[in-house]
């Protein structure tokens, strides 16, 4: 019996064959169990001899089964490892990595620059009241300059903000007329324009405000000069031209020189050699007053710019719609390595 069982174990090829053999020889209905069960019928002398023999046979078969099981398992593992081998020397496939949007990068660059000059960053709501968007900025109802900014009205008193200047009015109000204000406010603005290469019904602005005692026009010029040089290059010049905004007096528009230099020398960009990049001026006394600042004690300057326009000039982007249509081929050109 033992020899027969061991041959079968030897020949078994799978783990389930082994299980069958185990059941057949060592199971409850197997021959060894039967022998052990019949012990009662044996004589006193026979019992220990047969008992010992049966146990030995059972043990031998069980040991062989265990040994074979281990062998089969090891072989199975070996096979699986072979099948699942990885060739770690194969070159990898490139992974597509995202990066910040060009507009995000420019706004962050502008923010860093002004933080360096001691300005804080402020945000405000995109759905704004008529009061903060216009009235508090010296644009009462019916003022003709409201037409400069075609608006999306939601109700008679609510609209999509047409510029980020309301954040300045809000911040001055928050500071209650007795603290200096030095802030910039980046954010989305909305105007009822027909989209084309240079217009978009939604675009971005960064506006700045500095209110304190004894702020002068030369402070505005100094800050803007530093800004222009740091963003576009130390060889750039700025110039201020008189302009009009209802919330500043006097008001200016600022141009930067657009000298382009390459290996063969320098040339001046199209036209006059100057490009307009932002508007600004000294905060109108009425605006200070409405926000709770005494214009006899406090004064200040404000300015506003469009990061799209700045990015277009800096990187030669020819259509504002590129910023919003999100063609990855466009965006990827501006991802820093
Ligand atoms: N808010 C103005 C605009 O949107 C820009 C500006 C801001 C001009 C601050 C002067 C001072 O056109």
The model's pTM is: 0.72
Is the Cα dihedral 60, 66, 71, 76 positive or negative? positive
**Is 249 annotated as contributing to ligand binding?**
yes
What pLDDT is attached to residue 288?
96
Ligand 1 atom with the shortest distance to the CA of 168: 9
Pair 311, 330: CB distance under 8 Å: no
What pLDDT is attached to residue 86?
85
Distance 280 CA to ligand 1 centre (A): 6
Helix residue ranges, H only, the chain: 2-11, 15-26, 31-37, 46-83, 102-115, 130-133, 165-174, 217-232, 285-290, 307-315, 322-325, 328-332
Show pLDDT as tens, one digit a residue, over the chain (337 residues): 888 888 888 888 888 888 888 888 888 888 888 888 888 888 888 888 888 888 888 888 888 888 888 888 888 888 888 888 888 888 888 888 888 999 999 999 999 999 999 999 999 999 999 999 999 999 998 888 787 678 899 998 999 999 999 999 999 999 988 899 999 999 999 999 899 998 999 999 999 999 999 999 999 999 999 999 999 989 889 999 999 999 999 999 999 988 666 677 666 666 778 888 999 999 999 999 999 999 999 999 999 999 999 998 888 888 999 999 989 899 988 887 5
Rounded to 5°, the CA angle 93-98-101 comes to 155
The phi, psi pair for 256, rounded to 5°, reads -115, 150
Rounded-to-integer distance, Cα 199 and Cα 307, Å:
13
- Which DSSP category does 269 fall into? P
Ligand 1 atom with the shortest distance to the CA of 162: 4
Rounded-to-integer distance, Cα 165 and Cα 154, Å:
19
Which is nearest to 336 in space by CA: 83, 64, 105, 90?
105
Rounded-to-integer distance, Cα 153 and Cα 202, Å:
14
Distance 206 CA to ligand 1 centre (A): 9
Task: Retrieve residue 74's tokens.
Answer: 């090891």
Distance 83 CA to ligand 1 centre (A): 69
Question: What is the secondary structure of 183-219 as a DSSP string?
Answer: EEEEEEEE-----SSS--SEEEEEEEEEEETT--HHH
Rounded-to-integer distance, Cα 277 and Cα 158, Å:
29
Rounded-to-integer distance, Cα 322 and Cα 308, Å:
10
Pair 261, 268: CB distance under 8 Å: no
């Amino acid at each position: 019996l033992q020899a027969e069982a061991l041959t079968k174990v030897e020949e078994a090829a799978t783990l389930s064959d082994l299980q069958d053999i185990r059941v057949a020889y060592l199971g409850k209905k197997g021959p060894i169990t039967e022998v052990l069960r019949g012990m009662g019928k044996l004589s006193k002398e026979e019992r220990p001899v047969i008992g010992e023999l049966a146990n030995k046979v059972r043990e031998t078969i069980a040991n062989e089964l265990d040994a074979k099981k281990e062998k089969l398992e090891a072989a199975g593992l070996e096979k699986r490892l072979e099948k699942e081998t990885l060739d770690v020397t194969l070159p990898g496939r490139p992974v597509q990595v995202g990066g910040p949007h060009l507009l995000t990068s420019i706004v962050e660059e502008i923010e860093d620059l002004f933080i360096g000059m001691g300005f804080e960053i402020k945000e405000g709501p995109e759905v704004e009241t008529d009061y903060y968007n216009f009235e508090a900025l010296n644009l009462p109802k019916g003022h003709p300059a409201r037409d400069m900014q075609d608006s999306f009205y939601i109700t008679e008193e609510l609209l999509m903000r047409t510029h980020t200047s309301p954040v300045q009015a809000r911040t001055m109000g928050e500071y209650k007329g007795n603290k200096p204000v030095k802030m910039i406010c980046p954010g989305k603005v909305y105007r009822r324009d027909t989209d084309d290469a240079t217009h978009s019904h939604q675009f971005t602005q960064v506006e700045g405000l500095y209110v304190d005692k004894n702020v002068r026009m030369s402070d505005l010029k100094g800050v803007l000069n530093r800004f222009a040089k740091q963003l576009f290059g130390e060889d750039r010049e700025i110039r201020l031209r008189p302009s009009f905004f209802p919330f500043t007096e006097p008001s200016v528009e600022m141009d930067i020189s657009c000298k382009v230099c390459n290996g063969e020398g320098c040339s001046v960009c199209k036209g006059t050699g100057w490009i307009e990049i932002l508007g600004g001026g000294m905060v109108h006394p009425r605006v200070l007053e409405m926000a709770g600042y005494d214009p006899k004690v406090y004064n200040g300057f404000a300015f506003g710019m469009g990061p799209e326009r700045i990015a277009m000039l800096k990187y030669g982007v020819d259509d504002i719609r590129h910023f919003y249509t999100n063609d990855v081929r466009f965006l990827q050109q501006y991802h820093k390595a």
